[in-house]
Amino acid sequence: MYLDKPLKEHNLLQAIARTNRTYEGKTYGLIVDYFGVSKFLEKALAIFSKQDIQGALLPIESELPKLKQAHRKAMSFFDYINRSDADACVQVLEPEDVRHEFEKAFKEFSKRMDMILPNPEASPYVEDLKFLGKVRQMAKTLYRDEQMDISECGEKVKQLIAEHLYAESVEVIHEPIDILSNKFDERLEKAPSKEAQAAEMEHAIRHEIKVKLEENPVYYTSLREKLEQLIEARRKKMMDIAELVEKLRSMVNDMRNVNQQAQNLGFTREQYPFYQLFQQILPDEEHKDAIDALTHLVTDIIAEESQVIDWVNKEDVKREMRKKIKKQLRASVIPKDQLENITQQIMSLAMVHYKR
């Protein structure tokens, strides 16, 4: 609010109260006092008790200690890092718990900065805000962390960071690039080093596993275990960076070919997770024909029973489906002591792939 005329008593207090009213995205009010009412605030509000008006209007200088503290907290994550090395700074934020703590510190600092800008008192902190905004954006892109959302920041801070990112040619990606698309290959080619390529693929694979684990628990759990083994081997220096990049590329290609692998075995994309579930239980080659047949029989039952609209929310339909699946499993080579567990896993897959 811009105050350019004399206000007092109820009018002044109501104006302050309206300005201080909070809502989502607004945590404070800012009054620019051109007239000088703030210099004789007690006199202007003389009809009220001091207790009633305490803290109603504070000078912006009172926020500076909070700004300084928030700045120190946010910058402390990079105390022992060469800040001109952006990749090294982004590496600091690789652990999810560290990113979470950094995000809290950054938002607190940006809130304080938005409160004080464009007051000259904020000037000493502007370059560090730009630095943090750049590192944060790079970390969000690399680690595909949707929690790192700048929408909660004030407009002044958002504009300042956006202009800096543009000037620095930092790519702002609002949606992660799909690991299965050709654009992901193009992104890898732009990576400045083998280490950067490995990091890009590692976190893209992690993201894909997180998103699709429910679709095919057997395949994506296996993929996650393989990824952890590779990262651990690299950490122990059991392989060089070039070998790690090659193996990660192989994993990416394998993920891209899942649907083709299903077709080669005679299954649809929806059927393949059921086949892999049965294969995990009976991996021996001698059971292959039986598993093939069981996959088709079970998915035929699911396809038939799932014709009912909104069946996933109808207990009677699910009960009948479960009953028919269990009957089919009893007549198969599946071990009898695993029937209940396997039936439940099949039902979970059915609700993902045959939901209508």
Q: Give the pLDDT confidence score for residue 218 in this predicted structure.
A: 95
Give the tens place of pLDDT for each residue, 92-129: 998 889 999 999 999 999 988 988 888 889 999 999 99
pLDDT at 47: 45
The Cα–Cα gap between 346 and 352 comes to 10
**Which is it for strands 32-33 and 2-3: parallel, antiparallel or unpaired?**
parallel
- Match 């693929």 to its residue by tokens: 201
Give the model's pLDDT for residue 29.
Answer: 60
**pLDDT value of position 162:** 80
Whole-model pTM over 0.85: no
> What is the per-residue pLDDT for 195?
87
d(CA 164, CA 133): 8
Domain locations in the chain? 2-58, 62-167, 182-256, 268-353
Rounded to whole angstroms, the Cα distance separating 241 from 319 reads 52
H-helix or E-strand spanning residue 32 = strand 32-33
What is the average per-residue pLDDT within 335-346?
Answer: 94
Backbone phi, psi, residue 168, to 5° = -90, 0
Residue range 242-268: mean pLDDT, rounded? 93
Lowest-pLDDT choice from 50-54, 272-276, 293-297: 50-54
Residue 264: per-residue pLDDT: 93
Helical ranges in the chain per DSSP H = 9-20, 41-44, 50-53, 64-75, 86-92, 96-116, 123-143, 155-167, 182-190, 194-212, 217-235, 241-256, 258-264, 272-281, 288-305, 315-330, 339-353
Taking 50 as the threshold, does the pLDDT of residue 44 lie above it? no
Please enumerate, as own/partner, the contacts of 236-244 that have beta carbons within 8 Å and a separation of 24 or more.
241/194, 241/195, 241/198, 242/194, 244/198
SS3 23: strand
The mean predicted confidence, pLDDT, of the chain is: 84
Over 90: is that where the pLDDT of 39 sits? no
Q: Give yes or no for residue 223 having a pLDDT over 90.
A: yes
Residue 325: predicted pLDDT: 96
How confident is the model at residue 147, as a pLDDT?
A: 79
CA dihedral sign of residues 333, 335, 340, 341: negative
Residue 23: strand pairing partners? 26
Residue whose C-alpha is closest to residue 333's, from 266, 262, 281, 275: 281
Is the Cα torsion angle 8, 10, 14, 17 positive or negative in sign? positive
Per the CB < 8 A criterion, the answer to whether 328 and 298 are in contact is yes
Model pLDDT for residues 50-61, shown as the tens digit of each residue: 555 455 556 667
| Residue 16: per-residue pLDDT | 57
Tell me what pLDDT residue 176 has.
Answer: 66
Other C-beta atoms lying within 10 Å of the C-beta of residue 316: 9
C-alpha distances in angstroms, 247 versus 223, 239, 251? 12, 10, 6
Q: Which residues pair with 33 in a beta bridge?
A: 3
Kindly tell me if the per-residue pLDDT of 269 is higher than 60: yes
**Cα 137 to Cα 96, 100, 171, 334, distances in angstroms:** 15, 14, 8, 50
The mean pLDDT value for 4-25 works out to 58
Average confidence (pLDDT) over 226-246:
92
pLDDT digits (tens, 9 = 90+) for 123-171: 999 999 999 999 998 888 888 887 787 767 778 888 888 887 777 766 6
d(CA 348, CA 148): 31
Give burial (CB, 10 Å; 0-12/13-18/19+) of 186. Answer: exposed
Cβ atoms of 125 and 113 closer than 8 Å? yes
pLDDT at 26: 59
Count of beta carbons in the 10 Å neighbourhood of residue 98: 13
